[in-house]
Amino acid sequence: MFFDDPFPHYVLDDFLEEDYALKLSEEFIDYNHPAWFVYDSPLENKKACNNWYYFPPTTYEFFQKLNSEYFVGLLSELTGVKLHADHGLHGAGWHVQGNGGRLNVHLDYSLHPKIKLQRKINFILYLTPEWNNAWGGNLELWSHDEATNLPKENVKIIENKFNRVVLFDASVNSWHGFSDTIKCPEDKY
């Protein structure tokens, strides 16, 4: 479903066949695996991995499909913008947050550091079955304050729901993140 407030975005539930989404969820490497790049600062506490070497078969295949000419073409048609795949997964790949995770409301980088193209679309697929929204980590979309060039107010909360995709334009003052700290069991992320 398409929404325009506070900036253009889509929310799509049941994006994949449930068995396939569960397989992707099961393939995440262990939360303490050394392949994770750790972001730990006052602004964020999360882990990410964009190294194709660590992706098990189903995940590898899925990232190939997301970067395929066919899928990127569908996204281009949906958004009305000519898009290009980022096979290097810069800022993409697996992202996880566990207990104590945080992601302050922010804007993403606008110019890809390697290929010098504008970062246009964010594609988030939630893959944690049985996530309890009371633990936090729900995506917040904020309006833009023209006077201060900062986030103004939380306009929308999108729940972290298994097999849900959130797609949004990352180039239009699209302030996003979450203002709470995740409080979940140690075995969830």
Q: Give me the tens of pLDDT residue by residue for the chain, a chain 189 residues long.
A: 888 899 999 999 999 999 999 999 999 999 999 999 999 998 899 999 999 999 999 999 999 999 999 999 999 999 898 999 999 998 899 999 999 999 999 998 777 778 878 888 999 999 999 999 999 999 999 999 999 999 999 999 999 999 999 999 998 899 999 989 999 999 999
Q: Among positive and negative, which fits the CA dihedral 57, 58, 59, 65? A: positive
Q: Among positive and negative, which fits the CA dihedral 70, 75, 80, 86? A: negative
Q: Using CA atoms, how far apart are residues 8 and 43, in angstroms rounded to an integer?
A: 25
Predicted structure pTM score: 0.94
What is the chain's Cα-based Rg? 16
